[in-house]
Amino acid sequence: MNRTLCCLMFALSCGAAHAVPASPATAVETAVQAGMRATGARGLALAIIEPGKPAVIRTWGERNASGAKLEADTVMYGASLTKTVFAYLAAQLAGEGKLDLDRPLAGYLAMPLPEYGNLPAYGKWADLHGDERWRRITARMVLNHATGFANFAFVEPDGKLRIHFEPGSRYAYSGEGIMLLQFALEKGLGFDVGAELQRRVFDRFGMRNTSLVWRPDFARNLADGWTIDGKPEPHDERSRVRAAGSMDTTITDMARFAAALVNGEGLSKAARDDMLRPQLAIATRSQFPTLQPAATPAERVPGLAAGLGVVTFTGPQGPGFFKGGHNESTGNMLVCLRAQRRCVVILSNDVRAEAAFAGIVRAALGDTGMPWQWEYGAKPGTEPAKGP
């Protein structure tokens, strides 16, 4: 998100904070309409979970450049919300004793990781020859974003995968880490991640229009996107399961998942508590760019920490957690309050809508303490290197 949109987000959020009190439904409607006008966003879908069940599912705008209406069952790109769904699967497996979150993933593999070579479906494991720190990476480190990898190897100057810090020692968002855990589950433990998610999550919670690979029936009601400069972008038909971000879904389906998450459905209480508890303190000024140095204590968000596939925070209403999703034409957000079992899910097929999210969430949930500047902030003149 560029500096102009960061300022716009701040202005929209402040406007919501100081507006004349209104009913929740009216406040949300006002915030969405104002946000879409201010940002130029063409489409947005929203769900409110309150408490522990979908209470509101609404859509606004268009799903493509022809003007077709965005609907509650329109298939949209889930982007990095995929990571939270994948973390839910990992928490299930851990609760069943099938995955030890604190065992090095190397212990699940038949060969040393670099000997598997560079695999287009997973990662450039051969690049790790000569750095034995890969042997210490655990599933918990992956889901805490503490592997030491960059977000993706392709952002490295030479395109090679490398470990930048001692695994487990700090937070740095990484899709490469998520792909390592998928690799360990599939090649080491024999799980089919796509099939397991379908059975354990999508089928279980009635998510009928959600998949990690493209389905031809999605084409009948599909959202294309719009980029930051307002150009339309066709929906990508992803043919490979990628736990880092290949999920297509709908706002109706994500409402069902969010409700299951806050209720802990399909998880033991211990597994749910483990997933949503603060585990690794986050000391950076913002989430992106990744691998930035630790901020001074005054610049950090107090209490910000990594959970499993989510980021946890504490605000005026108590503990909460969130996860975003983003690419060039997508802006998604899940924000939940733990004790109240209240959530907001936003899916937008227009990345410009991200600037309106703070005001929309405030209208729906009140002041949560959600660290918007950390999530979307950037140094002046830079663009966060976000991605699925």
> pLDDT tens for residues 113-132?
999 999 999 999 999 999 99
The H or E element that residue 81 is part of is helix 81-95
Q: For residue 127, give the nearest of 162, 166, 175, 174 by alpha carbon.
A: 162
> Is the pLDDT at 103 greater than 60, yes or no?
yes
- Residues of the chain within CATH 3.40.710.10 domain(s) are 3-81+208-376
321: left (phi over 0), alpha (psi -120 to 50) or beta: beta
In CATH terms, the superfamily for domain 3-81+208-376 is: DD-peptidase/beta-lactamase superfamily (3.40.710.10)
Q: Binning pLDDT at 50, 70 and 90, where does residue 225 land?
A: very high
> CB under 8 Å to 195, separation ≥6 — which residues?
none
> Is the pLDDT at 154 greater than 60, yes or no?
yes
The H or E element that residue 347 is part of is strand 342-348
Tell me, what amino acid is at 32? V
Provide the pLDDT for residue 9. Answer: 52
372 has which bridge partners?
none
pTM: 0.93
> Is the pLDDT at 318 greater than 90, yes or no?
yes
Lowest mean pLDDT among 1-15, 160-174, 236-250, 283-297: 1-15
Q: For residue 76, give the nearest of 222, 275, 241 by alpha carbon.
A: 222
Q: Are 343 and 337 in contact (CB under 8 A)?
A: yes
- Reported as a single tens digit per residue, the pLDDT across 249-262 is 999 999 999 999 99
> Is the pLDDT at 211 greater than 60, yes or no?
yes
DSSP string, 180-239: HHHHIIIIIS---HHHHHIIIIITTTT-TT-BSS--GGGGGGB--EE-TTS-EEPPP---
**Mean of the per-residue pLDDT values of the chain:** 93
Provide the pLDDT for residue 3. Answer: 46
- Reported as a single tens digit per residue, the pLDDT across 4-24 is 444 455 445 544 444 434 567
Backbone dihedral angles phi then psi of residue 148, each to the nearest 5 degrees: 95, -5
> Is the pLDDT at 72 greater than 80, yes or no?
yes
Q: For residue 286, with 0-12 CB atoms within 10 Å meaning exposed, 13-18 middle and 19 or more buried, which class applies?
A: buried
Give me 215's structure tokens: 């389905």
Proportion of the chain above pLDDT 70, given as a percent: 91
Provide the pLDDT for residue 10. Answer: 43
Provide the pLDDT for residue 379. Answer: 38
Provide the pLDDT for residue 377. Answer: 85
